[in-house]
Structure 1
Amino acid sequence: MRGMVGSIEQVFGMPVRIVSNSGVSLASSSREAPLCAMINEEPAGRRACGAIVSEVKRLRVTSSEGATHGCFTGARYRVVPIEYEGGTIGRAILGPYLPPSVESVPDTLLAIEGIDPARAAELLPHMARATEATAEIVSKHLVAVLDVILWSGHKALLTSKMHIASIRESYRELSEKNAALEQAYERQQELDKLKSNFLATISHELRTPLTSILGYSEMLVGGIAGELTGPQLDFVQIIQAKSDQLLKLIMSLLDLSKLESGTVMMRRSDVAIGVVLAEAASTVAPVATKKGVTLTVDAPGDLPLVLGDPERLRQVFVNLGENAIKFTPPGGTVQMVARQMATEADVSDEPGMVLLAPLRQMVEVRVADTGIGIPEAERDKVFDPFYQVDQSSTREHGGTGLGLSIVKRLVEAHHGTVHIEGHEPTGAVFVVRLPASRPSAPPSKAAISVRFA
C-alpha cells in the first residue's frame, strides 16, 4: 500500500493516507507540502495542524461517496470509506489540496501566532490543487485499486491458511501413521523375539528325545538287543535315517534362532579356506557318490588365510554343497573353486577419496553346479528363511528352506558377502567372498585338489 499511495501522489500530486477504523495510520505518502512544513515550525501551527489531522481521522463517513473536511489553510481533505465484503475496514484520506478558488492566504491561517504572511503567500501556490470533481475521481480510483489489493491479499491469505491447514492435517496424519508404525515395529520385534525363543525352546525339547531314538536305533543295528532279521534291520535303518534328517532340521532351527537373536558363538582364528573346503566336501561326498554326482575341490596354495570360525565356515560350504548336489541330476558335477581377488575398500563419499582407498584382499569361493539353476528373479529371495523356489505341494526336491538363510547370515557374520550367478548352459553358481586375514599372516601354502566321483 505504501507503493500505491506514493504512485497516486506522483500521478495526481495529492498526498494520500490510509488509516484503519480506529485511526491507526497504515500507509501514507512521504512528501509534505512546503506551506505545511512552515506551519509545523511554529508551536501554535503544529498544534493547529495536529487538531485538524485528528478531526479528519475521526470524521464519520456514512456515504460510500465520501465527505470533505476543510483546513485553516484553505485546503481541503477528502475522506472515503474502504469497504470489503459488506463492511467498512478503514478510510482513505486525500489532501490537503487547494480548490482553484483559493488564490490568497486565508485569514484563518494568518490568525495563527508566528505565521509570516509574506512567506505564507510565497509558499501557498506550491500546494497541490484540485477541483472537487478531480478529487472525487482520484478517490474512486484509489478505492478501486485498494479493492483489488484487498481482494488479492485476502485470497492469498485464505490460500496460505488453507495450505497451512493442509500441511498441519498432513503432519497430523503422518504423525499418527508414524506412531502406528512405531507400535507395529515394536510389536514385530516382540513377536520376533518370541518366535526365536519358541524355536530355540521347541528345538531343544525335540532334540532330547530324538537323541534317545538315534541311540537306541544304533544299538539295535549293532545287535546289542539280539540279531535282527532282514526286514527288521531295514526298518530300524529307515528309522535311523529319518531321525538323522529330523536332527538336521532341528539343528538348523537352533542355528537360525541363534543367528536371529545374535547369540551364536564365533571362535575366530586364522583359517585355511582350502582345508575347510576339503572337510566340507568329504562330509557331503557320500551323498554325491550315492546320487552319481562328481564333486571336485580346487584351492591353490598361495591363498591368504581368512579370519573366522572354521566350524561355522565348514557349515557354510556343507550347506552350499548339499544344496548343489540336491538340485544336480545324476551324471552332473559340483565344483568348489577358491581364488584370491582384490576389491576396493569402503571409503567416504568425499571426492577423490576413492582414488586413495587401498584395495582389500578377498578370498572368493565359487560353488558351481550343473543342476536346474535358479531364475534371476528368485536369486535374492532364496536367502529368505523357509523360502522355496518351487513351493508347490508336488515339488520334486525336499527341504525346509533354512540352509541358504543360515549361509547368508554366517557369511555376513564374517563380514563377507554371498550372491548367485548363472552357470551356462545350466546350473547356478554361489559366490562367497570373505575378507582375508591380517596382512602379516602367511598364506596357507597347502594346495587342495580333491575329486569325489
Structure 2
Amino acid sequence: MKETLRILVVDDDELDRMTVYLALTQAGEKIELSEVSDAKTAISTLRRTTYDCVFLDNDLPDQDALSLIQKLRDSEIKVPLVVITDQGDEQTAVELMKAGATDYLAKSRLSSATVTQVLRHAMRVYQAELQRDLAHQQLKESHEQLLRKNQELERQQEQIQLQNLKLLEASRLKSQFLATMSHELRTPMNAIIGFAQILLRPKFGKLTNQQADMVERILNNGKHLLLLVNEVLDFSKLEEGRLALQPELFDVAKVTHTAVAEMRSLAEAKKLSLIVKINIANSLIFNDPVRIRQILLNLLSNSIKFTESGSIWVELQDLGENRVAIAVRDTGIGISSQDSQHIFEAFRQVDQSITRKYSGTGLGLAIINSLVQMMGGKISLESQVGVGSLFKIELPRKVSLSTSNQTLAAVDFNGKGILSSPQNSHPSPSQTSQVSMGFPHLKL
C-alpha cells in the first residue's frame, strides 16, 4: 500500500497547479495536495504544516523564489523544494539550487513521468541531506564533548602536577628531616656505646655480674639502634642523591670472609651453620669495599634473623664477561610470591604490624637494591615459603666511575623493575624444586 504524500504547490497560475496535480495522479501517486498562490501564504502554511515536497514557481507575484528560499532557510523550515521554471530559466534554477532548492523542473517538461521522477529524486536528496545534517550534528556534539573532556583532563593533569610538586617537596623535606635527625641521633648513640665499652674494660674497675650484664645490654642495644640510625641516614642520602660510591681495587673474597666472621657469632647463637664457598679464580674487583661489605652484612643479617634452623650459604662465583655473582641462601621462613613483588620497596616488611616478630626499619633491602643499581648490577630473588630464600647479586668486575657518581635519579625506590633476570618473576617449577630439595648445592 502506497503512502499518501503531502504536496504543496506554490504558483499563481491555476493551470500550472492543475498540471502538477494531474501529472502526479496520472503517475499513480497517492497524494494530498495543497495549493497557494503567493510567497507570504506559502511561508505561513509551511510553518503550520509539514509536507513531503513543495513545487515552487520561479516567478511569484509578491516575491521571487530566491528570496522565498532564503526566508525558509532562515526560519529553519526544511522541506524538499522543486523549482518550476520557464523555458530558458535553467541557469536561474541552478542558482536557486545553490541557495537551497532541492531540484528544478521546466514547465515544458511537466508530465507524469518527469514530475514523479523529480519528486522521488527530491525526496531522496532531502533524506540524504537530513542524514548528513544529523551526522554533522552528532559529530559536532561529539567534538564538543571531547573538547569538554579534554579540558577536564587538562584540569586534572594540572591538579596532578601540582600534587606531584607538593609530594616532591614533602619527600625532600622528609629526606632532609631524616638526614638531620640521623646525624643528631648518632652523636649521643656513639657516646652511649663508647661509655658502655669503657665500663666493660677491667682497668676502669670490676663490675659485678649483674652490672656487667646490664652494661652489655646497653652496649648491644646501642649498637642495634646505631645500625638502624645508619640505615635511615644511608636511605636519606640515597634518596637525595648525596651518596656516591668510593671505588677501589680490593679482594672481594677477603671482604666476604670478613663479613661472615662478623656475623658468625649471631648464627652460632641460633645454632645455624654458616658456610662460605669461593668459586672464583681472580677475586680482585674494582668497586666500593665498604658498600659491598654493607650489602653482605645486610643480607646475612636478614638470613640469620629469618632462619630458625638449618644453614646459610654464601657463595662467590665468576660469571665470565667481567662479571661476578654474590649469593646468600638460607633455609628460613621464605617469602611468598605476592610479598616478593614488594620486598625491595622502602619501609616494606612482610609483617607490617606493630606486634611483628621480626624487628627492623624495612630499609635494608631497599638500600641494597639502590646500591646494586648504582654499581651497574642487578639483584634477583628466588624463594619458597617454609623452605628458604636465595638472594643473588650480579656485579661488573669494574664499576664505572660515572655510574658510581650518579645521583638517585637512576635508582628506583619503589622496588619495581628490579628483578630483571629470568628468576625475577615468581619461581618456575624448576627453580622451586632446587629450593625444596634442601639446598644440597648452591646453584647460581
Q: TM-score range by the shorter chain?
A: 0.5 to 0.7
1:209 equivalent to 2:188? Answer yes
Correspondence for 2:256: 277
What are the superposed Cα offsets for residues 356-376 of structure 1, whole Å, 9 maximum, x if unpaired? xxxx54312221001111111
Of 198, 205, 208 in structure 2, the residue corresponding to residue 226 of structure 1 is 205
Deviation at 1:268, TM superposition (A): 1.4
Deviation at 1:242, TM superposition (A): 0.8
Return the alpha-carbon distance in structure 2 between the equivalents of residues 192 and 339 of structure 1.
39
Matching of residues 26-425 of structure 1 within 5 Å: 63=42, 64-69=54-59, 87-88=76-77, 92-93=82-83, 130-131=109-110, 136-223=115-202, 225-303=204-282, 305-330=284-309, 332-341=310-319, 360-422=321-383
Counterpart residue type for residue 317 of structure 2 = R
What is the TM-score when the length of structure 2 is the normalising length?
Answer: 0.67
Contact 1:369 1:423 in 2 (8 A): no
Contact 1:207 1:247 in 2 (8 A): yes
Unpaired runs of at least 5, structure 2: 1-37, 43-53, 89-105, 401-444
Return the alpha-carbon distance in structure 2 between the equivalents of residues 187 and 297 of structure 1.
48
Contact 2:273 2:311 in 1 (8 A): yes
Unpaired runs of at least 5, structure 1: 1-58, 71-76, 99-126, 343-359, 440-453
Return the alpha-carbon distance in structure 2 between the equivalents of residues 411 and 68 of structure 1.
89
Return the alpha-carbon distance in structure 2 between the equivalents of residues 138 and 155 of structure 1.
26
Contact 2:335 2:384 in 1 (8 A): no
Change (3 A) 1:78 1:145: farther
Of 422, 427, 436 in structure 1, the residue corresponding to residue 388 of structure 2 is 427
Contact 1:270 1:306 in 2 (8 A): yes
Aligned length: 330
Deviation at 1:85, TM superposition (A): 10
Greater Rg by CA:
1
Instruction: Give SS of 2:55's match.
Output: coil
Deviation at 1:419, TM superposition (A): 1.8
Instruction: Give SS of 2:351's match.
Output: coil
What are the superposed Cα offsets for residues 157-176 of structure 1, whole Å, 9 maximum, x if unpaired? 11111110111011111111
Contact 1:363 1:434 in 2 (8 A): yes
* Structure with the larger RCO, 1 or 2 (CA within 8 Å, 6+ apart): 1
Contact 1:303 1:363 in 2 (8 A): no
Contact 2:259 2:297 in 1 (8 A): yes
What is the TM-score when the length of structure 1 is the normalising length?
Answer: 0.65
What are the superposed Cα offsets for residues 309-328 of structure 1, whole Å, 9 maximum, x if unpaired? 11101100110011111111
Change (3 A) 1:299 1:128: farther
Contact 1:420 1:430 in 2 (8 A): yes
Deviation at 1:426, TM superposition (A): 1.1
Return the alpha-carbon distance in structure 1 between the equivalents of residues 66 and 382 of structure 2.
89
Contact 1:80 1:92 in 2 (8 A): no
What are the superposed Cα offsets for residues 139-193 of structure 1, whole Å, 9 maximum, x if unpaired? 5334422321221111111111111011101111111111111111111111111
- Cα RMSD of the aligned pairs, angstroms, is 3.2
Correspondence for 1:38: none
Deviation at 1:281, TM superposition (A): 1.0
What is the identity percentage for the equivalent residue pairs of Structure 1 and Structure 2? 28
Counterpart residue type for residue 362 of structure 1 = R
Counterpart residue type for residue 143 of structure 2 = I
Instruction: Give SS of 2:109's match.
Output: coil
Contact 2:344 2:365 in 1 (8 A): yes
What are the superposed Cα offsets for residues 403-432 of structure 1, whole Å, 9 maximum, x if unpaired? 111111111110111121026971100011
Change (3 A) 1:89 1:392: closer
Return the alpha-carbon distance in structure 2 between the equivalents of residues 197 and 210 of structure 1.
20
